[in-house]
Amino acid sequence: MKLFAPAAALCLLAMVSTSHAADPNLARNLAATCANCHGTNGNAVKGAGLDSLAGVPKDKTLQKLADFKSGDKPASIMHQIAKGYTDAQLDLIATYFAAQK
Amino acid sequence: MMLMKRRDFLKAGAAAGAMASLYGCAGGGKASGHVVVVGGGYGGATVAKYLRMWSEGGVQVTLIERNPTFISCPISNLVIGGTKTMEDITVSYDGLKNKWGIRVVQDDVVAVDGVKKTVTLKNGGAMSYDRLVLSPGVDFMWDEIPTLKSAEAQSKILHAWKAGPQTVALRKQLEDMNDGGVYAISIPKAPYRCPPGPYERACLVANYFKQHKPKSKVVILDANEDVQSKKPLFTKAWADLYKGIIEYRNNSEVKDVEVATNTAVLEFDKFKADVLNVVPPHRAGDIAHKSGIKLVNNRWVDINWLSMESTSTPGIHVIGDAIFPAPTMPKSGHMANQHGKLAAAAILNMLSGIEPNPEPVVMNTCYSFVDAKNVIHVASIHQYDAATKVVQPVKGAGGVSAARNELEGKVAIGWAKNIWADMLA
């Protein structure tokens, strides 16, 4: 039973020390904000007219997002949405989708 | 390992166990426990699925929903306008049951005990939880329109602001109305569910009248000072497509009704319609009120934006239309789905003993039909701000359509198919 007190203390320490660190699932969580339109884990419903992002190479997705942000790629809505995320967040999102099947 | 003696194996096992308990609290452990979700709409269905998916089946999930199937509010105005059917907006809960292993119970929750961590069901019995998610949507404040408190009055003067039998009934009232009649829709003061929804409904009813009952009119009785969403795009649609059909009246709050004559009683005036559609003011779903959690203005649930957890009652998370919204955040199905994912991620962290993600993001997309094919959107992105402890809209991002267009009419249907799959498939 002696183990428990130090274990609890370590837990508290761990929680304090990690409170400002990035979440281990940050990329997953950010990518999930895209799933409403682009499908769970980037697998859009086939035939529904919206792009699947699963398995798309990271660079390709990032380039598209950069073009939406700059206005180089015309869009109905993505030019407005891409601007809502930081470049670091878009990198995490593109990396996550590239790794999905 | 192959040469390890049994005694050594046991020692190693004990060490691994101790490591696991430490590791568990530090964040590497697989989440386990039982989460009960109340309400299977856009928020509840999403949180249920994502808890199962992200925990790889480690967390048991029970979803309690009073209806046998999911019926979508978004797209339901097209049923009222006559270009879609109820079948088009109805989705089974079988995906959640069979693919994701969620126990779906058709019942109503009548009480919540946040101390004992139990919920009581209407059909009898109680259920215990490790964490509870309330996604109860809204219920109506009938006291604000006293005559509508009776069930009989409610069966004649419809809201159709929850998709289901009322959607069908309102469609029938419109079909039964003689050409030359007046359809009036009343809008409560903001905040209410789906800010552009009433204006979309006015367009789609006017679109039906234009084609089938051309002498008929649509009157919007808005309790607010002005159009609450996509104003330039809606007013342009009314002028271009429905001139002489749609009339907009601001500062026209419905205080009561006279049921026999379909009359709306306003502050200084009365308005008689042939089909009167009153959307009463609403508040967080009744179970939020019964559960004793902290509310803002006695209407909406006060939550912590890192976890969607009640600010007063640990272990109870609340998502969707029932919460006190962050600045500029609409009460929408899309947003409820985003709340569901935020809550699922936070709950899994908390069940594994780590803090919720310190930098959550949610976003909204909302498409409105102005006729059977043309659509206008509004979008926004909301990032957590540590200073205000609220998700704040990102300046310079989001916005509305440049003009109504048919391309977004197709995208809107694609959006519906994808979000329904994201929640339920």
Q: Is A37 on the interface with B (CB under 8 A)?
A: yes
Contact B252, B222 (CB under 8 A): yes
pLDDT mean over A82-100: 98
Contact B73, B160 (CB under 8 A): no
CA A52/CA A50 separation, integer angstroms:
7
Distance to chain B for A34, nearest Cα, Å: 9
CA B332/CA B365 separation, integer angstroms:
9
Partner-chain residue, chosen from B25, B357, B365, that has the shortest CB–CB distance to A26:
B357
Q: Is B250 on the interface with A (CB under 8 A)?
A: no
Contact B422, A36 (CB under 8 A): yes
Residue B97 DSSP SS3: helix
Contact B346, B317 (CB under 8 A): yes
pLDDT of residue B116: 97
* Beta-carbon pairs below 8 A across chains A and B: 138
Q: Which of B343, B364, B418 is nearest to A84 (CA)?
A: B364
Largest interatomic CA distance in chain A: 64
Contact B341, B47 (CB under 8 A): yes
pLDDT of residue B124: 85
Tell which CATH architecture fits domain A23-98. Orthogonal Bundle (1.10)
Partner-chain residue, chosen from B26, B50, B418, that has the shortest CB–CB distance to A38:
B418
- pLDDT digit string, tens, across residues B255-305: 999 999 999 999 999 999 999 999 999 999 999 999 999 999 999 999 999
- Strand (E) or helix (H) holding B179: none
Q: Which of B164, B153, B143 is nearest to B280 (CA)?
A: B143
CA B318/CA B262 separation, integer angstroms:
37
Q: Is A78 on the interface with B (CB under 8 A)?
A: no
Judge whether residue A41 has pLDDT over 60: yes
Query: What does the block give as tokens for B358?
Result: 């310190």
Residue of A nearest to B400 (CA): A77
Cα distance from N-terminal residue to C-terminal residue, chain A: 46
CA B411/CA B386 separation, integer angstroms:
35
Distant-in-sequence contacts of B169-175, Cβ < 8 A, 24+ apart: B170/B80, B170/B275, B170/B277, B171/B79, B171/B80, B171/B82, B173/B275, B174/B80, B174/B82, B174/B205, B174/B208, B174/B275, B175/B82
Beta strands (DSSP E) in B279-398 are 282-284, 295-296, 300-301, 303-304, 309-310, 316-318, 361-369, 375-385, 390-393
- pLDDT digit string, tens, across residues B339-373: 999 999 999 999 999 999 999 999 999 999 999 99
Judge whether residue A8 has pLDDT over 70: no
Q: Is A9 on the interface with B (CB under 8 A)?
A: no
Q: What are phi and psi of A4, to 5 degrees?
A: -65, -40
Spatial neighbors of B72 by CB under 8 A, at least 6 apart, are B89, B90, B91, B163, B333, B416, B420
Contact B265, B255 (CB under 8 A): yes
Residue B207: left if φ>0, alpha if ψ -120 to 50, beta else—which one? alpha
How many other CB atoms are found less than 10 A from the CB of residue A89?
18
Stretch 167-196 of chain B: residues touching chain A, C-beta under 8 Å: none
Strand partners, B113: B118
With CB atoms and an 8 Å threshold, state whether A77 touches B355.
no
Can you list the residues of chain B whose pLDDT is less than 70? 1-29
With CB atoms and an 8 Å threshold, state whether B360 touches A29.
yes
pLDDT of residue A20: 61
Q: What are phi and psi of B71, to 5 degrees?
A: -125, 125
Q: Which of B364, B346, B373, B354 is nearest to B400 (CA)?
A: B364
CA B93/CA B221 separation, integer angstroms:
37
Q: Is the four-CA dihedral B175, B176, B182, B185 of positive or negative sign?
A: negative
Measured CA distances, A10 to A68, A81, B13, B50, B266 (Å): 46, 41, 21, 30, 63
Partner-chain residue, chosen from B26, B361, B415, that has the shortest CB–CB distance to A37:
B415
Q: Among the residues of B55-132, which ranges form H helices?
A: 76-80, 94
Contact A83, A70 (CB under 8 A): no
Distance to chain B for A50, nearest Cα, Å: 6
- Strand (E) or helix (H) holding B75: none
CA B359/CA A33 separation, integer angstroms:
13
pLDDT of residue A18: 42
pLDDT of residue B29: 64
Give me the amino acid identity at B42.
Y
Give me the amino acid identity at B146.
P
pLDDT of residue B11: 37
Residue B147 is given by DSSP the state G
Judge whether residue A13 has pLDDT over 60: no
Q: Which of B361, B370, B421 is nearest to B397 (CA)?
A: B361
Sequence ranges of the domains in chain A: 23-98
With CB atoms and an 8 Å threshold, state whether A76 touches B355.
no
